[in-house]
Amino acid sequence: MGFAYFDIGVLKYLVFLIIMCVYIVIISSNVLLIVVICVNRSLHEPMYMFLCSLFVNELYGSTGLFPFLLVQILSDVHTVSVPLCFLQIFCIYMYVNVEFYNLAVMSYDRYLAICHPLHYNTQMSFNMVVKLIVLSWCLPLAVVMVMISLNVSSKLCGNIIDRVFCNNYYVAVLSCSSATASNLYGLVYTFSVLFILAALILYTYVKILQVCFSGSKETRQKAISTCTPHLVSLLNFSFGSFFAVLQSRFDMSRVPNVLRIILSLYFVTCQPLLNPLLYGLKLSKIQITCKTLFFVNPQRSHK
């Protein structure tokens, strides 16, 4: 199976270096924050446990794309075996679904913390946090496995994917048999589960905004400081996912190839880059822990 790469000549080494640097930054920044959250007991709270799950997913999603992409950039023949193609589809689709579920769970967590602070500790217990994290990984796993099973046994009548990575929609298009079952499954899942999650996120933020406008200045500042990173992350991921869906369902041949590739990689590149920056800079507890772990206090060093 081949990919519709365009020839960039000797520039491929520069592109390889840039993407390698991006991947290294993603790995190091997300691992750093996972370590910070795990080693500091004061960060063993629901919000930071959900963040840890989010950062693990960023590592998983970027690893499902970048090593394969780096090999393809340096290769003169852009091909992949069918099993490896479906493995990449599994990794990327798992990443997308887990990301959305994690963001929905984090929205619910912020809603409870801001709108029902007196009941927060009882409703968001350790057992509940574990259940929500397990659900945000296991449910996407079941969904993606069913989706792949609808296409994995299909005989392909073509072998060129109009992407720089494997995509389930394009594999379904190449199938000799009808893709009705796969498309119907995707539509039902989108309008049932994903629509419900989107409605949940919208509801939680409407309620949070009501508290912000009706509460005290201190309540408003707390809500803004804790919700801003999550809201920016949610909008960024939605933006990237929208362009990925747009390219899959509509003719984008008039768009320059370079722009098409950048937009197709946006959701799995900018999100893992942005999240550590957002949460690392905006959440004071993470800042303090990082300074404690990695910087020596000059006053202490003289004692």
Taking only the tens place, the pLDDT of each residue in 146-167 is 888 888 777 777 777 777 788 8
Domain assignment present for residue 300? The answer is: no
pLDDT band at 296 (very low <50, low <70, confident <90, very high): low
pLDDT over 70 (residue 8): no
Q: b/e per residue, 34-66, with b = 16+ CB within 10 A?
A: bebbeebeebebbbbbbbbbbbbbbbbbbbbbb
SS3 220: helix
Domain assignment present for residue 299? The answer is: no
pLDDT band at 239 (very low <50, low <70, confident <90, very high): confident
Domain assignment present for residue 280? The answer is: yes
Domain assignment present for residue 162? The answer is: yes
Domain assignment present for residue 298? The answer is: no
pLDDT in tens, 191-224: 777 788 888 888 988 888 887 777 677 777 777 7
User: CATH number, domain at 216?
Assistant: 1.20.1070.10
Domain assignment present for residue 301? The answer is: no
Tell me, what DSSP letter sits at residue 192?
I
Residue type, 28: S
**Separation CA 229–CA 288 (nearest Å):** 17
pLDDT in tens, 26-71: 999 899 889 888 888 888 889 889 999 999 999 999 999 899 888 8
Domain assignment present for residue 1? The answer is: no
Structural domain boundaries enclosing 272: 7-293
Q: Is 42 within 8 Å of 285 (Cβ atoms)?
A: yes
Tell me, what DSSP letter sits at residue 156?
B
**Separation CA 244–CA 248 (nearest Å):** 6
Q: Is 280 within 8 Å of 287 (Cβ atoms)?
A: yes
pLDDT in tens, 256-278: 777 777 777 888 888 999 898 88
pLDDT in tens, 89-139: 899 999 999 999 999 999 999 889 888 888 898 999 999 999 999 999 999
Average pLDDT over residues 173-186: 76
Domain assignment present for residue 204? The answer is: yes
- Of all residues in the chain, what percent carry a pLDDT higher than 90? 24
Per the model's pLDDT, the better-predicted residue between 290 and 141 turns out to be 141
Q: What domain count does the chain have? A: 1
pLDDT over 70 (residue 301): no
